[in-house]
């Protein structure tokens, strides 16, 4: 995306409400107008959002690596059954770990509040980019969670691949510098979720998800959002 289009986008969105901005972020993710368009949009709201957002926590140092799909570390136990976010700067490896986290739960040992708290710890500290509303919507409501707990339902996930969607790669090829505004990468992860419950019941299904992941230089990656549909 060219710089003139980026400037025009900022001008058109400068006065939008928070709800409208969230809707457009979801639309951008859905059609993958890639990091160039996504970064331009969200950074265009920085001045307005900074008036209401809490200051971000300082980033933790880590060696950046954006090309490999293999991580430098593995998630450690987090709150309840929720794994803690791995301290890695590789968006593909982080995307795989985030997908595994999203598809894993254990109602036998983890309350719904603990599940949400564990997931929240994966999110970026930069409030102007974070779509926590969309991420927490992945957790069942309190009534359903209670029924799942009565049934001792739990799930694990195995992630097979994590890739950058083709539209994202094309957008970066068109305008590599656009990524440096927010350092948001689009990652599609695929794998399998296995679910079990008391009485020996269980099953498994193939899963795919497209995520927005922020990996600033010299900082660990963090989750930004979940796209409403999977991007190839």
pLDDT digits (tens, 9 = 90+) for 138-187: 999 999 999 999 999 999 999 999 999 999 999 889 888 888 889 999 99
pLDDT given for residue 80 in this prediction: 61
pLDDT given for residue 76 in this prediction: 40
Phi-psi region of 102 (alpha: psi -120 to 50; beta: other; left: phi over 0): alpha
- Rounded CA-CA distance 141/185 in Å is 29
- Rounded CA-CA distance 20/43 in Å is 15
Cα dihedral across residues 196, 121, 48, 184: positive or negative: negative
89-93, 115-119, 157-161, 198-202: range with lowest mean pLDDT? 198-202
**φ/ψ of residue 94, rounded to 5:** -65, -40
Q: Which of 17-26, 32-41, 154-163 has the highest mean pLDDT?
A: 154-163
CA distances from 204 to 150, 188, 193 (A): 20, 20, 5
Nearest residue to 33 via CA among 41, 21, 45: 41
pLDDT given for residue 172 in this prediction: 87
68-77, 122-131, 207-216: range with lowest mean pLDDT? 68-77
pLDDT given for residue 180 in this prediction: 87
Q: CA angle 163-94-89, nearest 5°?
A: 110
Q: CA angle 53-92-73, nearest 5°?
A: 90
């Amino acid at each position: 995306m060219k710089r003139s289009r980026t400037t025009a986008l900022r001008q058109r969105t400068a006065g939008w409400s928070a709800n409208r901005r969230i809707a457009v972020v979801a639309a951008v993710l859905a059609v993958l107008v890639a990091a160039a368009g996504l970064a331009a949009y969200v950074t265009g709201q920085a001045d307005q959002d900074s008036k209401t957002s809490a200051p971000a926590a300082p980033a933790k140092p880590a060696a950046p690596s954006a090309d490999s799909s293999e991580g430098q570390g593995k998630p450690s136990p987090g709150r309840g059954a929720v794994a803690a976010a791995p301290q890695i700067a590789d968006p593909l490896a982080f995307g795989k770990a985030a997908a595994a986290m999203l598809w894993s739960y254990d109602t036998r040992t983890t309350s719904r509040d603990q599940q949400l708290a564990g997931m929240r710890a994966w999110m970026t500290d930069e409030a102007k980019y974070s779509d926590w509303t969309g991420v927490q919507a992945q957790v069942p409501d309190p009534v359903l969670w209670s029924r799942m707990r009565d049934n001792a339902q739990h799930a694990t996930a195995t992630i097979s691949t994590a890739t950058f969607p083709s539209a994202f790669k094309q957008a970066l090829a068109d305008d590599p510098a656009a990524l440096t505004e927010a350092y948001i990468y689009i990652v599609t992860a695929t794998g399998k979720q296995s679910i079990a419950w008391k009485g020996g019941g269980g099953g498994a299904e193939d899963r795919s998800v497209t995520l927005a992941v922020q990996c600033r230089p010299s900082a660990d990656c963090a989750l930004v959002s979940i796209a409403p549909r999977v991007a190839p």
